[in-house]
Amino acid sequence: MYIAIILLLLLVILPAGITHFGYVQITQMRVKNDLRLFTILESLGLYSRDRYEALVKQEVVLSSIDGLKLSGAAIEPYPDSKRWIIIVHGYTGSRAVSTQFIDMFTDEGYNVLLIDQRRHGQSEGRFTTYGYYEKYDVQTWVNWLVEQYGSDTEIGLHGQSLGGGTVLEYLSIAAPQVKLVIADCPYSDLTDLMKHQITKLNKLPSVPFFRWVNNRIRKKAGFCFEQVSPIRSVRESHLPVMFIHGTNDTYVPTRMSQEMYDAKPGPKKLVLIKGAIHANAYHIDPHQYRAEVRSFLHEYIVKPEMKAAPEPSFIELFQDNSLETV
């Protein structure tokens, strides 16, 4: 009798526990702080906290369409240029992890806007929605650049992992000032990704756990898996898109970038970095990564004349430490 009761309780509690765990892991996983992210970047030789803190930058705070505080930093070494790159980080990251890509774009004459996605870094928010709401946050940042620098501003987007999915979702509402998108290890479809991660990575049956988790997310976070499908936006977009993916990525399968590349009309490019796992293609082969990005930028946005801001004088440095540069 007691054994039967215990088994019955387990049958009720275990599914509920797994459902709650899945919901939290997907929408509310703990975000890494900037110190940890910079420590990782420094250990890989990609960037350092000291370099970032020494940069001249403008802290920017905006409001999302649903009233959340969005935080970012504008790095403008070329004040005469109207060409900008917005860099969008991945899940549980922040703008700190995006710093690894700064030089890749500033070396080509672009100003850079680093952003904290909602619920990450210094931005507000309770849930991650994989581009469903985040694409409108990207539009908020695009609007800010256009308001600040004019309607002739030319903008490129670079996103990694969640950021890659976000910038591809953004294709469905892209402003005319956005000229190209670079998506590093993006997912093609959230339903496909979650079923892959439930069955392949967590070794659980897709049915019924997928349905239970999806229902919990719909009720709590206000979206569902079926509403997020970057490949749908890709199929309808003629903007130039570059897909980058590691050949050994099992977290977001490499095939997802291949599928989107195959589905996309118009200008496109697929770069596979041999041996790279999820979100480490730049670390594995920075030379190939940068060379491919450089050629893509040059093909679809004319290379700007690079007129960097003049070096500050000794007196200026003495008066304001914020002018110190790397």
Secondary structure of 23-82 in HEC code, one letter for each residue: HHHHHCCCCCCHHHHHHHHHHCCCCCHHHHHHCCCEEEEEECCCCCEEEEEEECCCCCCC
Structure confidence at residue 3 (pLDDT): 65
Cα four-point dihedral sign 203, 209, 214, 216: negative
Structure confidence at residue 2 (pLDDT): 57
Please indicate, yes or no, whether the overall pTM of this predicted structure exceeds 0.75. Answer: yes
Structure confidence at residue 10 (pLDDT): 43
Structure confidence at residue 53 (pLDDT): 96
Q: What φ, ψ does residue 84 adopt, rounded to 5°?
A: -130, 150
Tens place of pLDDT for every residue, the chain, 326 residues?
A: 656 555 444 444 556 788 888 899 999 999 999 999 999 999 999 999 999 999 999 999 999 999 999 999 999 999 999 999 999 999 999 999 999 999 999 999 999 999 999 999 999 999 999 999 999 999 999 999 999 999 999 999 999 999 999 999 999 999 999 999 999 999 999 999 999 998 888 777 777 889 999 999 999 999 999 999 999 999 999 999 999 999 999 999 999 999 999 999 999 999 999 999 999 999 999 999 999 999 999 999 865 444 444 444 333 333 333 333 23
Structure confidence at residue 89 (pLDDT): 98
CA–CA distance, 239 with 78 (Å, rounded to integer): 25
Structure confidence at residue 13 (pLDDT): 57
Structure confidence at residue 201 (pLDDT): 84
Structure confidence at residue 307 (pLDDT): 45
Structure confidence at residue 16 (pLDDT): 79
Residue that is written with structure tokens 């070494």 in the block? 77
Structure confidence at residue 226 (pLDDT): 97
Q: How far is CA 65 from CA 158, 244, 282, 309, in A?
A: 22, 30, 33, 34
- How are beta strands 154-160 and 111-115 bridged, if at all? unpaired
Structure confidence at residue 55 (pLDDT): 97
Structure confidence at residue 131 (pLDDT): 98
Structure confidence at residue 1 (pLDDT): 60
Structure confidence at residue 264 (pLDDT): 98
